[in-house]
Each structure stands twice: as C-alpha cells, then as structure tokens.
Structure 1
Amino acid sequence: MDLDKIDRAILIALQADGRATNASLAERVGLSETPCARRLKRLEADGYIEGYRAVLSRSALGLGLVAFVQVRFSVHDRKLSDRFEREIQAIPRIVACHNVSGTADYLLQVVARDLDDYGTFMRDVLRVLPGVSAVESMLSLREVKRYAGLPLL
C-alpha cells in the first residue's frame, strides 16, 4: 500500500508522541476524529505500526555506559549462530544486535552502569556466549543523535 500525505503525517506524529490521543492526532493532521481513527487502525493492521512503547532514561536508571561490541566467530556454523542469537535474546543489557557484514559477525549495543560493571559483564557473559572467539568494544563518549523514529522517504 502506498502511504499518502496524511498517513505519513500520522506516522510522524506518533513517532514524536506515541501517547497522543486520537483527538490531538486528528487535529495535528487536519482530519476529524473518526477518519483519523480509521486510518490509524488501518496503519496498525497493515503492519506500519508494530507497537507502542515508552522511551526510558538511561541516566535516571543508572546506565551511564553504552558500548558497541563487534563479535567474531572462528567457526561459522548455523547451529552455533542460532544458539548465539537465542541466548542474546534473553540478555537485557544487550539492547540491540545486528548480524553484519565485514570483519565482525555481529554488532551489539550494550548498556552498563559503569566501566567496572561493563568489564564484569564482558568477562562473565559476552566472552562465554556460544561461538564467540573475539570481541572488540567501542565505548560511546557522547550520544550525538538518539533514535528519533524512522524516516518516511
């Protein structure tokens, strides 16, 4: 389905404020409430909107360290990769994981309280995951841009 200008405006508004009421959303996009609600239901049903969630403050939660971790495997075995991927799903500190091309097999985004906490996590959790032969960490010094939603090209 092609998105029209109003559909795009609804998606942009919801990415900025997922708790917007139907009334405020309708006002922002220039529709009355009933057609806006119908469009929103259609966007949800068609899979453009996967869900709604709160954006939590890392600093308020005491998670002051963000690390990007390149993980390499020495043996490329499908069962091993599947096991690795299953295990990382259960680790809350790993907030994102991508199977990537290049010198690494996976790129992880990890949060921790501080450097000591991250070091313990690296030693006791990351390095012992199935298939892992090498890890390389890059610590975030400062977040320049935070995920603000997907672009509607």
Structure 2
Amino acid sequence: MQLDQIDRRILRSLQRDGRIQNIDLAKEVGLSPSPCLRRVRLLEEAGVIKRYVAVVDGATVGLGLTVFARIWFRSQDAESTAAFIEAIQKVPEIVECHLMVGDCDALLRIMIADLNSYWRFQADRLTRIGNVRNVKTDVPMATVKRSFEVPL
C-alpha cells in the first residue's frame, strides 16, 4: 500500500493516541470525518494498522523488572528453531523474541517481578525450552527511551 502524507498524519496521530475520536482525528489531519474514517478503515484492512492496544506499566502490575536474554541454540535447523518458536509463544513472561544474525541465535525481552523471580524463571522454564543450549542475561539499569511509534 502506498501511503500519502494524510495517511502518515493519520498513523502518527493514532500511534500517539489510539483512542482518539474520529472527529478529532479528522480535524488533526485536515479531513472531514467521513473520508478520515474511510482512510482509517483502509489502513486497517490493508494490515498497516494491526490492532489497538493499551500500554500497561509493568511496575504497577507487579512486573517491575525487564531483562534481555541472549539465547544460543543447540541446533539451528528449521525443525529445532520452529519448536523453540512454538514453545516461547506459550510463555507470557517473554514479551518479545527476535531471531538474530550474529553472536546469539535469539534475543528475548522478558518482564518479571524481580531478579529472584527471574533466576527461578531461567532455571525452571527458560533453560528447559527445547533447543536452548545457553542463556546470557543483560539487566538494564534504566530505561531512558521506549517508544511504540514507527517513525513515519
């Protein structure tokens, strides 16, 4: 789908506030409400807009620690990698997984209560996922930027 400047303005606005009323969105992007709504629907149907979500502060719901775990596989064949992917889909603490090119095979972002909980999670769950040979964990000192906006 080719995006024009109005589509990009719509997307920037919706990324800042997914609950914005169509009438306010239309004013913000310089359209009348009907064509604005039509464009939003087209962006949704084309898969440009995947879904709308609420961003929850992990610390306020008891998940105050985010760690990054670098994973090395025992085997990099397609079947073993697919089994790993299927297994991590079922682990809610793993909120992101990226298959990597470079030093490690996968990079996970994990949200958990605290360091002791992570230690138990790594020993009891993470290292027991099939094909996991080694785990190295990085614990950030502070989050200085976190964005959910795609730069348009």
Q: TM-score, normalised by structure 2?
A: 0.97
Q: Which amino acid aligns with 2:21?
A: T
1:60-97 CA-partner distances (Å, limit 9, x unpaired): 11111111110001322221111110010010000000
> What is the aligned partner in structure 2 of residue 37 from structure 1?
37
Gaps of 5+ in 2: none
Equivalent position SS for 1:60: helix
Q: 2:69 touches 2:108 (CA, 8 Å); kept in 1?
A: yes
What's 1:6 paired with?
Answer: 6
The residue that corresponds to 1:28 in the other structure is 28
SS in 2 for 1:59: helix
Moved over 6 A (4+): none
- 1:90 counterpart residue number: 90
TM-score (norm 1): 0.96
What RMSD over aligned residues (CA atoms) do the two structures have, in Å?
0.9
Structure 1: runs of 5 or more not aligned? none
Separation in 1, partners of 2:81, 2:3: 37
Q: How many residues align?
A: 152
Aligned to 1:114: 114
1:60 aligned partner: 60
Q: CA deviation at 1:115?
A: 0.5
Of 139-148 and 111-120, more deviation after overlay is shown by 139-148
Distance in 2, Cα, partners of 1:97 & 1:70? 10
Question: Alignment partner of 2:110: what SS?
Answer: strand
Q: Distance in 2 between matches of 1:151 and 1:38?
A: 23
